[in-house]
Amino acid sequence: MTDRLDRWADPPLLVLASLADEPKHGYAITQDVAETMGVRISAGTLYAVIARLEARGLIEPLESDDRRRPYQITMAGAEVLAQESERMSKVASVARERLSIRLGWAGA
Amino acid sequence: MSGTVDPRHPGHQAPPRRRTSLLARAVLALYPPSWRARYGDEVLMLLEDSGGRLREVVSVAWRALPAWFCSPRYLRDRSARIRASLSTALISGSLLAGLALFFAQVTQFQGYTTPGYPVVGWAYVVFDVALAVSALAVGVGGLPLWLLMLRRARREQRTRDLAYVLLPVIAPVTYLTGLAVTTRLVSGPHGVSQGWFWIITLAGFVAAAVAAAGPGVAMRRLRPRGPALHLAATAAAVSAATLTVAAVAIVVAIGGMSQYSRHQDGYVSPVLVLYLVPVLVAATVTAVSAARGARAARARA
């Protein structure tokens, strides 16, 4: 069931969240998302997302001597991430509140 | 993990390198060239870092098709699009012009007429005007681009590129010189034999293909940009449109000749119909390529 719910995770948001603290290259993003958010992003999905985020100016590539090019979040990307985080926080808050009423669940 | 520390991101260790499989490279070939040029190396590195697992490679393959339809605008190189379209239009246009000249040689130049079928004569006139306008458009519109490449090849002493740029001059001059010498040597009282005629015709097509391929290769190597390239794209569209009119005139003329022939002899040569196949294919390719180039030239950056 958890695997199925993982599919609902929004990969662009996961990538933005991963880049929120420091620039990372592709492999570092997949590792970070897997370790901290528990979602595995495939190589194909990651670069489709990177291309889309870059096209919208939400992330930007950094110069690199290596073939591993790091990306950093832009101001526009940070704003989008903040708005989405706020929205998700509201959803989580409502979910916790209702679960606690119905099941007496206090959350983690 | 026994990898090295990534100097840019101390928190993330780069895993040991593995050879990227041929499969991964083949999968990347499924992507649009602009996408591949921008992200190809990075994806290969990611696949290497991920251990080149088949599941990862398949995920890259799975995303190739959407990349063709949703290619980000910033990845689209308008100048490269124009150059590619111009190169294709040059080759197919020269083939079409060659076929048109062949048509003129075996009909008009031989004084072939179809009494009672004036449509053939009208088609001759339309054909002549269309072909002349097409040649004029290519000459006038393509000259600035040709001179631009010529100057650059000379300035940067790129001998091979200079040769490619000069091929539209060298190939026809060589062909015409060879033609003059050959016809003088092999002509009899009734002109050249049928065998020699086909040899000369074939050599003409080869010369036209070489003359057209030269600027195409030079464009790929010198990568010209700017107004001269855009003007050439517009001229190619005008030339392709008029060549298409010439192709239609050929179809109409052959239709008239077929009617005349059927009426006179009760027989229509299948060669006439077979001749129309390459004419229509070349006209379609030329028109589509030139239209794509002109659209890219007119598109906003």
> Is the Cβ pair B12, A31 closer than 8 Å?
yes
pLDDT in tens, B67-102: 877 766 666 677 877 888 888 889 988 888 888 888
pLDDT in tens, B152-196: 999 988 999 999 999 999 999 999 999 999 888 888 777 778 888
Closest among B102, B82, B109, B99 to B283, alpha carbons compared: B99
pLDDT at A106: 58
Furthest C-alpha separation in chain A? 56
Element (H, E) at B9: none
How far is the C-alpha of B167 from the C-alpha of B233, rounded, in Å?
A: 20
> Is the Cβ pair B42, A68 closer than 8 Å?
yes
pLDDT at B267: 63
Asked if B8 and A70 touch (Cβ cutoff 8 Å), the reply is yes
- A45 confidence band (pLDDT: 50, 70, 90): very high
> Is the Cβ pair B67, A51 closer than 8 Å?
yes
Whether B75 has its CB under 8 Å from any CB of chain A: the answer is yes
Q: Within 10 A of A27 (CB to CB), how many other CB atoms are there?
A: 23
**Residue of chain A nearest B50, judged by CA positions:** A27
User: Would you say residue A99 has pLDDT above 90?
Assistant: no
Distance of residue A84 Cα from the nearest chain B Cα, in angstroms: 23
pLDDT at A8: 56
**DSSP collapsed to 3 states, B225-250:** CCHHHHHHHHHHHHHHHHHHHHHHHH
Is A83 inside any structural domain?
A: no
Distance of residue B62 Cα from the nearest chain A Cα, in angstroms: 7
Closest among B87, B136, B50 to A41, alpha carbons compared: B50
pLDDT in tens, B88-142: 889 988 888 888 888 887 777 777 777 777 888 888 889 889 989 999 998 999 9
Contacts of B223 (CB under 8 A, 6+ apart): B79, B80, B83
pLDDT at B5: 40
CA angle B256, B259, B262 (to 5 degrees): 150
Residue B16 is classified by DSSP as P
> Is the Cβ pair B56, A50 closer than 8 Å?
no
Contacts of B21 (CB under 8 A, 6+ apart): B47, B52, B57
Residues A33-50 have a mean pLDDT of: 93
pLDDT averaged over chain B?
83
pLDDT in tens, B221-255: 888 888 999 999 999 999 999 989 988 988 888 88
> Is the Cβ pair A43, B59 closer than 8 Å?
yes
pLDDT at B150: 94
Distance of residue B40 Cα from the nearest chain A Cα, in angstroms: 10
Asked if B189 and B106 touch (Cβ cutoff 8 Å), the reply is no
Whether B24 has its CB under 8 Å from any CB of chain A: the answer is no
Residue with the larger pLDDT of the pair A99 and B265: A99
- Torsion, Cα of B9, B14, B19, B21 (10° steps): -70
Residues B260-283 have a mean pLDDT of: 78
The domain ranges of chain B are 4-73, 77-298
Whether B19 has its CB under 8 Å from any CB of chain A: the answer is no
Is A28 inside any structural domain?
A: yes
pLDDT at B168: 92
Judging contacts by C-beta atoms under 8 Å, the chain B residues touching residue A54 are 72, 74
Whether B255 has its CB under 8 Å from any CB of chain A: the answer is no
Q: Within 10 A of B183 (CB to CB), how many other CB atoms are there?
A: 13
Number of domains present in the structure of chain A:
1
Is A57 inside any structural domain?
A: yes
Judging contacts by C-beta atoms under 8 Å, the chain B residues touching residue A52 are 70, 72
pLDDT at B20: 57
Backbone angles phi, psi at A47, to 5 degrees: -75, -25
pLDDT at B236: 92
Q: Which domain holds residue A28?
A: 2-74
> Is the Cβ pair B9, A24 closer than 8 Å?
yes
pLDDT at A105: 65
How far is the C-alpha of B297 from the C-alpha of B290, rounded, in Å?
A: 10
Question: Counting Cβ atoms within 10 Å, is residue B151 exposed (0-12), middle (13-18) or buried (19+)?
Answer: exposed
What ipTM describes this predicted complex? 0.83
pLDDT at B177: 94
B163 bridge partner residues: none
Whether B117 has its CB under 8 Å from any CB of chain A: the answer is no
pLDDT at B137: 93
User: Which CATH number goes with the domain that contains A38?
Assistant: 1.10.10.10
Residues B273-280 have a mean pLDDT of: 84
User: Would you say residue A108 has pLDDT above 70?
Assistant: no
- A47 confidence band (pLDDT: 50, 70, 90): very high
* H-assigned helices in B115-226: 118-155, 159-186, 194-222
pLDDT at B71: 67
Whether B165 has its CB under 8 Å from any CB of chain A: the answer is no
